[in-house]
Amino acid sequence: MKVLTANRLTDGEAVWYANGGWAEIIDNADVAHDKAAEDRLEAIGATAYANNEVVDVNLIDVTVANGVVEPVRLREKIRAAGPTNRNDLGKQARPEAARAA
Amino acid sequence: MYRYDEFDHDFVQARVAEFSDQVTRRLAGEITEDQFRPLRLMNGVYLQLHAYMLRIAVPYGTLNSKQLRMLGHIARKYDKGYGHFTTRQNIQFNWPALSDIPAILADLASVEMHAIQTSGNCIRNVTADHFAGAAADEVADPRPYAEILRQWSSVHPEFSFLPRKFKIAVTGAERDRAAIQTHDIGLHLKKNAAGELGFAVYVGGGQGRTPMIAKKIRDFLPEADLLSYCTAILRVYNLYGRRDNKYKARIKILVHETGVEEITRQVEAEWQELKDADLKLPEADIRAIDAYFAPPALTDRPEGDEAVKLARLDSKSFSEWLDQNVVTHRHPDYAAVTISLKGIGEAPGDASDSQMEAVADAAEKYAFDELRVSHEQNLILPHVARADLKAVYDALVDIGLATANSNLISDIISCPGLDYCALATARSIPVAQEISLRFASLERQREIGELKLKISGCINACGHHHVGHIGILGVEKKGAELYQVTLGGSADENTSVGEIIGRGFSSAEITDAIEQIVETYLGLRLDRNEKFIDAYRRVGPAPFKEALYAGEAKAA
């Protein structure tokens, strides 16, 4: 399973494609379950890159357990949460992330 | 310290205006990311995991209080309240918005700072001994030469698109605190028999995936020939350095593949064409730059001896800090102070906005307005009257920066690692923090003695692990972090590259392994005076391998 991720052009914020737009947290990211869905996400990413909305666009591996999207690689886990030595920074420091945790 | 002249001001202002325009055009979608990336990199703007990162140049690590205060202001206004001091004596901010970068650069320009050439395949910030101008053992201040190199290398048309990045370091003392033998060019400022200043020139050092120790290609280069000789080296490199493979593009590979004799011959031949032309430095020009670095007027403060003696009796912790973080100054009434950015359990090299401001205040009040960033990721007050040491110490205690661990095992160099860096393969900061906490007792650290531990989160070796007495390299193996340990590295006048001791350790095992190595050293050292590195050089890796892996061999 894969989701589409990037960094927003204006401020570099890590974002994930969800519900027709770019969300600042991974929780509700659109999950591609097959090759066709991956291709669709990839095309969306290419368009957003071409439109100068985002940079560093990637499809990343995830798992979904109990409806929660979780990246497979540590690198992507850290992007989705924030620096592991600073729980007061990044997505993990946000109220909505705290509620989800 | 160096002050911008009219040319410098105009140059930096013009660059701010140019890059601001480029950012505006990028945000408006008028230029693509592929077009913009090389432009932003030339101005120190990277894209990391969570955000953009801005790396700001601190030429040869020298700052005044106004500049450090501005860095604190930037941390607070545009970032998340802290900055990270780097092994190139620079500072980087981890969270700036691209749209704020023009304003940040304008703020920096107002205090004579910029982010030019902190990235890209050009000549990077020239580093120097952080005790320059203060050290009792130097023949002359190396920074005027670093400044001459800065002026020469800034947007140098011939050397702005080299095969790969290029790093130069200068030391003015026999004892090398600037790690010159790990640089593309290392310069050791010295005097010849006639008392004239010049340089021993080293070429082809570097770390990364292929660590190499620089080779000395000239024992004495007169100071007037600094630029012509460096130009000759850069020309040979620019012409013959490999551009087909990024991993073989540094000058260290060229020197290694060509051989020292041949590369020396090529450089000398090129130099013959250049040495008597317009790159020869006029004596008056050198002395004019020298004048910018004239030491502050250090009035005699003989009351310092008594003041320090009394304060020592009064405070054991002050006494310990004095022994560990304060070094001899060329003026007997003064000292140079290391402000440790390695608080126990803290991220190495990080300082908060308010810490930066408080350190700037202390520099202004007690240290002639002068500060340094060390390549070991600490701050330095180079000139403090011994009579003021207790006041400085008290000010540092108030902001949590009085940890007395300079050169001890918790004074760790660490790259940002996978917590921030897009290139990293493993985390390094949490490893540094856990080791620091394991050895939290300063009494235990002092018992262990000088021990330089350096951690990199990938093979690019920004954390200098190859030259750590103990080096740790984090890699990704089968989806997990794995930490490889090297022993016996060193980045001083006896530079050596550490040797891999054996199989790597998981993040859960690495701190135990480091403790095992330290205990092994304590068990085999001849006495307290035999440092870790000296003991390792005497006994080699065998006892450490035995301690780390013997159990496994028997079990297998």
**Are residues B87 and B459 in contact, defined by beta-carbon separation less than 8 angstroms?**
no
**What average pLDDT score do residues A33-38 get?**
98
The per-residue pLDDT for B314 is 96
| pLDDT band at residue A67 using 50, 70 and 90 as cut-offs | confident
Same domain, B93 and B55: yes
Answer with the one of B363, B398, B433 that is the final residue of a domain.
B398
The per-residue pLDDT for B552 is 79
The per-residue pLDDT for B551 is 81
Residue B165: give its domain's CATH number: 3.30.413.10
CB contact under 8 A, B98 and A75: no
Interface membership of B50 toward A (CB under 8 Å): yes
Give the distance from CA B522 to its chain's centroid: 29
The per-residue pLDDT for A100 is 47
Of the residues A47, A53, A74, A91, the best mutation for testing chain B's interface (the one with the most B CB atoms within 10 Å of its CB) is A74
Taking phi over 0 as left and psi of -120 to 50 as alpha, with beta for the rest, B314 belongs to: alpha
Which two structure tokens, joined as six digits, stand for B212? 């190499």
Answer with the one of B259, B292, B325 that is the final residue of a domain.
B292
Query: B403 lies in a domain?
Result: no
| Closest by CA position to A53, among listed A9, A5, A6, A3 | A9
Q: Render the burial of B455-484: b for 16+ CB within 10 Å, e for the rest.
A: bbbbbebbbbbbbbbbbbbbbbeeeebbbb
Give contacts of B479 with chain A, Cβ < 8 Å: 72-74
CB contact under 8 A, A11 and B97: yes
Same domain, B161 and B262: yes
Same domain, B481 and B503: yes
Interface membership of B344 toward A (CB under 8 Å): no
From the list B51, B430, B480, which residue is nearest A11 (CB)? B51
CB contact under 8 A, A83 and B429: yes
Per-residue CA distances from B488 to B76, B117, B173, B497, B530 (Å): 40, 33, 23, 7, 14
Same domain, B143 and B254: yes
Query: B37 lies in a domain?
Result: yes
3-class secondary structure for B63-113?
Answer: EEHHHHHHHHHHHHHCCCCEEEECCCCCEEECCCCHHHHHHHHHHHHCCCC
Same domain, B281 and B139: yes
The per-residue pLDDT for A101 is 43
Same domain, B150 and B29: no
Same domain, B205 and B309: no
From the list A9, A13, A85, which residue is nearest B430 (CB)? A85
Hey, what amino acid is at B111? V
Query: B130 lies in a domain?
Result: no
Half-sphere exposure at residue B70, Cβ-oriented, CA atoms within 13 angstroms: 20
Q: Say how many domains are in chain B.
A: 4
Query: Chain A: residue nearest B48 by CA?
Result: A12
The per-residue pLDDT for A71 is 97
**Are residues B104 and B23 in contact, defined by beta-carbon separation less than 8 angstroms?**
no
Tell me which residue range forms the domain holding B448. 413-555
Give contacts of B27 with chain A, Cβ < 8 Å: 9-10, 52
Residue B337: give its domain's CATH number: 3.90.480.20
Give contacts of B418 with chain A, Cβ < 8 Å: 74-75, 78
Interface membership of B33 toward A (CB under 8 Å): yes
| Predicted TM-score of the model (pTM) | 0.96
Separation between Cα atoms, residue B381 and residue B358, nearest integer Å: 13
Tell me which residue range forms the domain holding A42. 2-100
**What average pLDDT score do residues A21-34 get?**
96
pLDDT digits (tens, 9 = 90+) for B400-444: 999 999 999 999 999 999 999 999 999 999 999 999 999 999 999
Sign of CA dihedral B36, B40, B41, B47: negative
The per-residue pLDDT for A99 is 46
**Are residues B170 and B226 in contact, defined by beta-carbon separation less than 8 angstroms?**
no
| Closest by CA position to B383, among listed B372, B394, B399, B374 | B372
Question: SS3 of B513, please?
Answer: helix
Q: Say how many domains are in chain A.
A: 1
Separation between Cα atoms, residue B208 and residue A98, nearest integer Å: 39
Question: SS3 of B191, please?
Answer: strand
Same domain, B26 and B97: yes
Q: Which residues of chain B have pLDDT under 70?
A: 553-556
Same domain, B320 and B391: yes
| pLDDT band at residue A95 using 50, 70 and 90 as cut-offs | confident
Give contacts of A10 with chain B, Cβ < 8 Å: 27, 97-99
CB contact under 8 A, B433 and A89: no
End-to-end CA gap in chain A: 22
Same domain, B83 and B219: no
**Are residues B178 and B170 in contact, defined by beta-carbon separation less than 8 angstroms?**
yes
Same domain, B311 and B344: yes
Name the minimum distance, in Å, from the CA of B12 to any CA of chain A. 24
- Residues 6 or more apart whose CB falls under 8 angstroms from that of B28 comprise none
Residue B120 backbone phi and psi in degrees, to 5: 90, 170
Give ipTM to 2 decimals.
Answer: 0.95
Answer with the one of B231, B261, B292 that is the final residue of a domain.
B292
Query: According to DSSP H, which parts of B342-497 are helical?
Result: 353-366, 389-398, 429-438, 442-448
Query: Beta strand B127-128 with B168-171: parallel, antiparallel or unpaired?
Result: parallel
Same domain, B152 and B244: yes
From the list B26, B50, B419, which residue is nearest A85 (CB)? B419
Of the residues A15, A76, A85, A89, the best mutation for testing chain B's interface (the one with the most B CB atoms within 10 Å of its CB) is A85
